Amino acid sequence: MPLLFHKKPALVVYVTCGDPNLATTREIVLAAIEAGADVIELGVPFSDPVADGPVIQRASERALKHGTSLAQVLTLAAEIRQHAQSTGLIIFSYLNPILRMGMKKFCAVARHAGVDGVLVTDLPVEEAGEYLQAMRANDLAPVFLASPTSPDARLKQIAAASKGFVYAVSRTGVTGARQQLAADAQKLVRRLRKVTKLPVAVGFGISTAAQFAEVGGFADAVVVGSAIVETIERNRGREAAAVAEFVCGLSAVSHQPSAKTG
């Protein structure tokens, strides 16, 4: 898998596919890419999103009411890939939809769609043997979550299994924008840098340009999810334009020189 981060800090944008509908999701993603997003996480809606806060839970409920499926998300990924050759595409899913499709089939379809990697939010690295085998067979990058509470031995295991980048969770708990970022995020990035040379992306709770700049000072990439999904929720009828405006404000930060630490 090619390196996804072409600038630092890179901007990773998460969207819940199918909210408000798949056609609009396509417009939103292409607008986000045009506005400066480096990587897109295509969220697969799930009926029991235990790792997500209320904003993404509501988005998943709306998407599922329209019947949005993993197969449709993969078709959307293929359409986006046709228009964006160099943007990183990550499927962000819970394990259940993948198991329903079949692990081998999912990985094969994802590869043909032009997907770069996959993040399965509720699959522990200790139980990922079959998944990793199928991912390797299809030249896909498995991305795992590392949390501030993970012991060093587990961080090493996560780093060894990951390709492309490691996703550092800025704090414990569910997703959702926060006014202040936990200091644990920078400490976790430092710990990860001791066990891997992969880029480290930090997510969970980042919602403003100031927070983006703060995290970009010590991480290779910043993931913005709930703030994007909330922007979509609040701007019915002009979702793509609103997301483009928001992403422009964030991506402008990534073009500014920053003193990297950690």
Active site residue 52: yes
What's at 168, amino acid-wise? A
Candidates 41, 220, 233, 239; catalytic one:
41
CA dihedral 209, 215, 221, 226 (to 10 degrees): -60
| Helix (H), strand (E) at residue 247 | helix 239-254
Contacts of 213 (CB under 8 A, 6+ apart): 253, 256, 258
Active site residue 41: yes
E strands in 135-199: 141-142, 145-146, 166-169
Candidates 19, 27, 38, 52; catalytic one:
52
What residues act catalytically?
41, 52
